[in-house]
Amino acid sequence: MPAPPPPEDLAGLSLAEIAELAAARRLPPVESWQPERTGDSAMRIARDGSWYHEGERIERPALVRLFSTILRREPDGGFVLVTPAEKLAIAVEEAPFVAVELASEGEGEARRLAFRLNTGDLVVAGPGHGIRIEERDDGPHPYLHVRGGLDALIARAVFYELAELALAEESDPPGLWSDGAFFALAST
């Protein structure tokens, strides 16, 4: 049975419903596929999460969602689209996903944070889905671990929401709990 379609937004869902939808998402076993045929996909994922093929933007969200399910990070740090028959390199400018929406429930150590990605996928931050900040010359780059070495860049507006929540909680260091794990909102 296929997974339910991604929700339009998180506003009408409880964190329990979001976690249930995230857990119901079944992905192909790309980690176990080791095809001999390799090549280049002529595809690129831009910093804003847009997907391109041969320089043209892929406009169909369903097609992007499909490709995102066969995306894998290689041990050398590269990214590939993989099937049982072939493995094709794909260029990724920043991160393969973008966290575009946040839902928060609870306070302090009881808080849960859920994110909707640009692909419609749902991720609840916690021990298996950490939040980290990388400080660079152009400012902080916040990331959410999605799966298997694949991260989502947390969109600036969503990062500001996280910062507001952290400031309201007055934790030291500034940060937030989610699903039993604490995430500092500054680089370490």
DSSP state of 130: -
62: helix, strand or coil: helix
Alpha carbon distances (Å) from 180 to 112, 124, 127, 128: 8, 11, 7, 11
Is the N-terminal amide bond of 28 cis, ω within 30° of 0? Answer: no
Structural domains in the chain, CATH included, are: 26-92 (3.10.540.10), 97-184 (2.30.270.10)
Q: CB of 15 within 8 A of CB of 62?
A: no
Rg for the chain (alpha carbons), in Å?
17
For 183, the token pair is: 């995430």
123: helix, strand or coil: strand
| pLDDT tens digits, 97-145 | 999 999 999 999 999 999 999 998 999 999 999 999 999 998 889 999 9
pLDDT range class, residue 29, cuts 50, 70, 90 = confident
| pLDDT tens digits, 51-92 | 999 999 999 998 999 999 999 999 999 999 999 999 999 999
pLDDT range class, residue 1, cuts 50, 70, 90 = very low
